[in-house]
Chains A and B, each alone.
Chain A
């Protein structure tokens, strides 16, 4: 499923300050990753041209060299058309393609039909703009692509990512300082969660669960064999709960009842479990359904490490004690294991890290002491004299390339649900600057205005429905219905409305969203579903929460 064998950003934030072209694709970086955006801002000051590709005219478009208002879910058509232009005008990096890649001919064939004129019809972006940006990217000395969930939260999210990787392979914008492919991670340890093997198909350090070498190493260190059958990712686990195959669930620090698509359905599945354990820091909607709730320590209380979006392993340190008799996550899990017959003897987070080093070659050179003395280190860091790795895949430029990178041809497919007569508007979801995910942590902090949900809508769409700014509005999809307020916004194109999922106790946005999932990655299509809107008669009951 991966082209390079790793799932991580290839570059470092500092490279954004030392590059020539930055394609920001499906990422509201300024609001969602403000400090990474500061790196981009400095890059622009240093002469980089930033191209923003997003359905919404978000604020960062003001700093853009060019803004491409792509229609929701049509990114592959755009990327393929850029590839078409780059090949047609012979702007490809011939030598790189020859030495470091495979399947170029397949890709070439796949993008043949994607003329900019054809893509214009799908994406809404003028053919000439597609040509211009294709040339800009291909002819830049250094160029980088950054993306977030605007690319991945679709039923074909994995293919969306491939379509971007193909552009980097075509032009050689990978494996060099200032050129790369950077998924910006939405949560503080998305990268680390995967790196640590909290995945159904991977063990710590990226070993596939069926890789004999990795299995042998784990069996040596753990003294027990690892199950060989690949497990289920979250979406498949939800399906298995529906089939009554999964009967017990252990949820740690997550609020899936409010964060997952088609929330009503998810809640019913959780209610039907035989046994649900939730370990968290706050009482969430998911915890309220549990048979046992375990209080964990949180930020400023925890000890351990995280991995950020540039693969940097950093220390979190306890500044205060957790409330009541809450305990560290890793202590709780050790106690459960030992009560079930295991014999774990970790005295500290550092003891656990030392075991991780034995199993994950990329982390072997990182110690708590080194992080304390040198600051966070970027993996791979194979031994204690290694300084860490600012960018990946440099080997693609060496004589001894090793495993070549494959082009993976992709084809445009519309979102799983598109507007029709009954549900005429497309809803897309995202975050706003001051808030975060299901609002478990941000819905009640002080000093911040606009702490409420709203449906952002183009002025003409609002007028067509007879709605004014601030009017209560009912938003319905085939799965559910919520009431919120109209927020007229010039960011929205016609036909596209926007909501966040920050305030689920007021407005449960994810009862609307579509459970249709990417068969390769299991990511639900949060970014596109069809809705209808109508005036809501009663006053919107939000005043007391403001």
Chain B
């Protein structure tokens, strides 16, 4: 990966362009991206300093499955197989409209598009919303 990567801020809807500097596989500094046509290199305190949450010890690092009431580490295959089986069973039993999806206004277009495609074509319901009402 490069030492300097151009990306977009993760907070409000302004969408300021940022340049992320990386040292030893960690983000070391964030500054405004001068060529960004929306923000012209400016950034607020959240954009410049608020990113430290990415190193938080509350970050999820592995899938967790509830076993005997407790969230317990699991492999991807175990977690995803469980979800697929459980979703399929519940769909057979209760029908597609027994499902809902809260998609993320913080994630990418690509995720939001796939979440819509998943709910509509795999589950079979239009019960999907993003958090744009809250």
Query: Does the CB pair B129–A282 fall under 8 Å?
Result: no
Please, could you name 16 A-B residue pairs with CB atoms under 8 Å apart, sorted by A? A35-B14, A35-B44, A193-B103, A222-B117, A227-B96, A229-B97, A230-B126, A231-B126, A253-B104, A254-B105, A315-B6, A317-B6, A329-B111, A334-B114, A335-B80, A448-B45
Whole-angstrom distance between the alpha carbons of A316 and B101 in the complex?
A: 24
Query: Does the CB pair A249–B101 fall under 8 Å?
Result: yes
Q: Which residues of A contact B105 (CB under 8 A)?
A: 187-190, 192-193, 254
Cβ proximity bits B1-26 to A, threshold 8 Å, 1 near / 0 not: 11001111111111111001010011
| Chain A contacts to B: CB under 8 angstroms | 13, 32-36, 38, 184-201, 203-204, 209, 222, 224, 226-227, 229-235, 237, 240-241, 245-254, 256, 259-261, 274-275, 277, 280-283, 287-288, 290-296, 298-310, 312-321, 323-327, 329-330, 332-337, 339-342, 346, 349, 352-353, 355-356, 375-376, 433-436, 440-442, 444-448, 521-524, 526
Whole-angstrom distance between the alpha carbons of A78 and B25 in the complex?
A: 54
Per the 8 Å Cβ criterion, residues 80-134 of B in contact with A are 80-84, 86-88, 90, 94, 96-122, 124-134
Q: A233, A287, A441: which contacts B10 (Cβ < 8 A)?
A: A441
Query: Does the CB pair A336–B118 fall under 8 Å?
Result: yes
Q: Which residues of B contact A333 (CB under 8 A)?
A: 111, 114-115, 118
Q: B6, B42, B125: which contacts A38 (Cβ < 8 A)?
A: B42
Q: Which residues of B contact A34 (CB under 8 A)?
A: 44-45
Q: Which residues of B contact A241 (CB under 8 A)?
A: 100
Whole-angstrom distance between the alpha carbons of A521 and B132 in the complex?
A: 10
Knowing A231-B127, A252-B111 are in contact, say whether A299-B12 is a contact too (CB < 8 A): no
Query: Does the CB pair B9–A188 fall under 8 Å?
Result: yes
Q: Which of A204, A248, A287 has the most CB of B within 10 A?
A: A248
Query: Does the CB pair B25–A198 fall under 8 Å?
Result: no
Q: Which residues of B contact A290 (CB under 8 A)?
A: 64, 66, 71
Q: Which residues of A contact B134 (CB under 8 A)?
A: 234, 256, 259-261, 523-524, 526
Q: Which 5 A-B pairs have the closest CB atoms?
A: A324-B61, A185-B13, A308-B15, A231-B126, A253-B104
In the complex, how many angstroms separate the beta carbon of B23 from the nearest chain A beta carbon? 10
Please give the number of chain B residues whose Cβ is less than 8 angstroms from any Cβ of chain A in the complex.
98
Q: A234, A300, A304: which contacts B54 (Cβ < 8 A)?
A: A300
Query: Does the CB pair B126–A340 fall under 8 Å?
Result: no
In the complex, how many angstroms separate the beta carbon of B104 from the nearest chain A beta carbon? 3
- The chain B residue sitting closest to A199, CB to CB, is B129
Work out how many contacts link A and B, with CB atoms closer than 8 A: 426
Chain A binding surface, main DSSP class = loop
Whole-angstrom distance between the alpha carbons of A199 and B66 in the complex?
A: 29
Whole-angstrom distance between the alpha carbons of A336 and B127 in the complex?
A: 18
- The chain A residue sitting closest to B5, CB to CB, is A319
Whole-angstrom distance between the alpha carbons of A227 and B91 in the complex?
A: 15
Q: Which residues of A contact B17 (CB under 8 A)?
A: 314
Knowing A304-B108, A330-B110 are in contact, say whether A317-B5 is a contact too (CB < 8 A): yes
Query: Does the CB pair A198–B130 fall under 8 Å?
Result: yes
In the complex, how many angstroms separate the beta carbon of B78 from the nearest chain A beta carbon? 9
- The chain B residue sitting closest to A246, CB to CB, is B100
Whole-angstrom distance between the alpha carbons of A336 and B82 in the complex?
A: 10
Per the 8 Å Cβ criterion, residues 11-66 of B in contact with A are 11-17, 20, 22, 25-27, 35-39, 42-47, 49-54, 56, 58-66
Q: B12, B22, B65: which contacts A188 (Cβ < 8 A)?
A: B12
Q: B42, B96, B133: which contacts A234 (Cβ < 8 A)?
A: B133
- The chain A residue sitting closest to B99, CB to CB, is A248
